[in-house]
Structure 1
Amino acid sequence: MTERTVTIDIQKDLFGANEEAAAQNAELFSQNDIQAFDIMGSVGTGKTQLIESLCEKLKGRYKILMVAGDLATTIDADRVAAHGVDTVQINTGTACHLDARMLRVALTDINLTEYDLLFIENVGNLICPAGYSLGVKKKIVVVSVTEGPYMVRKHPLTIKRADMIVINKIDLAEAIGFDVDILVKDVREVDTSIPVFTISSKTGEGLDDMISALEL
């Protein structure tokens, strides 16, 4: 009798399977002429309000679908739906991120030919989601002035993997004595080429420049 021991790199296997699923998603979006965006950020950074603001500005020109990722509840999806936008909720239970397979399953019964844009609000944190591609056009990382001056420095890998950095809630910077340039400088130290936008999703300041960079 021969005994054989095989060591499997579970992380490599998981990431490999996800990359394959992400490629399938990208092909699906391309076939249906959908531009998809993965919006990542910690809880409370203003991801949902940003998506609400984007929808308000864009829904007159584009048909929009929003996918909300959360451990539980439909709170964020309900907020976006109130703007007349179709939504899909993914409740992950204990998973701290969305992955490409989850997204594909969630979209199975959706007629994607009806939509032009897909905004995906990932589960709220800046660690797990960065490692899982979804097959989107751009990965957008949102940080906010209310999170303090160290968010970028503490998450360099997430910043490097992003296609765009959005610094949100700049309308509160003066009131809390926060220097927004600190976060911009920290992003530049991680990657000098990544686009950075300072915005207020509440007042709309800076939003038009960000939308232009989406290259719709």
Structure 2
Amino acid sequence: MKIDMKQPILDKNDRLAADNRALFKEKGVFVLDLLASPGSGKTSTILATIEALRDEYNIAVIEGDIASNVDAARISAQGIAAVQINTGGACHLESDMIRRAVDALDLDNLDLIIVENVGNLVCPTDFDLGEGAKVMILSVPEGDDKPLKYPGVFQASEAIILNKVDTMEVFNFDEQAFRDAVTQLNPAAPIFPISATKGAGVDEWADWLRAKIEAFRA
């Protein structure tokens, strides 16, 4: 006899995610779920995105970490509402966690919520949060072979941010091989090469996100 524990968990999560999605639609809030490994520059990318869009949109951030509130504190220091979720060991965020987090936010006065998921290239892809889009961040030091090793996260993402592009020569990153691998897995996903800390390429990424927000609100 085989007992499938995963599907009932996912079914419950998906039901709650549908409720979240309906709430976000009602309030006109676009939700972006950022997936990445630890150290890829998720928070730096979020800060760069905020800087590019804060004059146009009211933004909040939900930070997912196993422990600590370090990243939420960095966001709050920029005058942006931030809610910290500590999973206590869980390797991903789930839709009920997001619902509890947004209860602490003023959805009537928000346009964009950026969710920084727990640093992991596997588990978060299975869990719908009710988001408008999942986007993955890969940093150059992680290597150009990651699409081959972790295909699921590339397939689940609507766009790919390639961060720390200023280090390509240092890490012998083969950008063309990376692009070819991503295209095979997800030909519709645009790739945005950026350096979040230096600002390079952020405008192009922000333009894509702006278009997603406006389409959602139309």
User: Structure 2 length as normaliser, TM-score?
Assistant: 0.93
CA offsets per residue over residues 172-212 of structure 1, 9 Å max, x none? 11233322222212101212221111111112111111111
Q: Check if 1:49 corresponds to 2:48.
A: no
TM-score (norm 1): 0.93
Equivalences, count = 211
Task: State which of 60, 64, 76 in structure 2 corresponds to 1:81.
Answer: 76
User: In structure 2, what residue type is equivalent to 1:158?
Assistant: V
Partner of 2:175: 180
The runs of 5 or more residues in structure 1 that have no matched partner are 1-5
Q: 1:156 is matched with which residue?
A: 151
Secondary structure (helix, strand or coil) at the match of 1:84 reads: coil
State the Cα RMSD in Å. Answer: 1.4
- Structure 1 stretch displaced more, 65-74 or 76-85: 76-85
2:56 is matched by which residue type in structure 1? Answer: R
Match of 1:130, as an amino acid? T
**2:32 pairs with 1:34:** no
The structure with the larger Rg is: 1
What is aligned with 1:198? Answer: 193
C-alpha deviation, 1:8, in angstroms: 4.8
Structure 1, 131-140 or 149-158: larger mean CA deviation: 149-158
Amino acid corresponding to residue 35 of structure 2 in structure 1: M
**Map of 1:137 onto structure 2:** 132
The percentage of aligned residue pairs carrying the same residue is: 36
Paired residue type of 2:18? A
Query: Which of 89-98 and 7-16 deviates more?
Result: 7-16
Q: What corresponds to 1:209 in structure 2?
A: 204
Question: What SS does the aligned partner of 1:94 have?
Answer: coil
In structure 2, do the counterparts of structure 1 residues 173 and 7 end up closer, same or farther at CA, with 3 Å as the change threshold? closer
Code of the residue aligned with 2:71 in structure 1: it is D
Alignment of 1:115 with 2:110, yes or no, is yes
The structure with more helix, counted as a fraction of residues:
2
Runs of 5+ consecutive residues of structure 2 not aligned to the other structure: 214-218
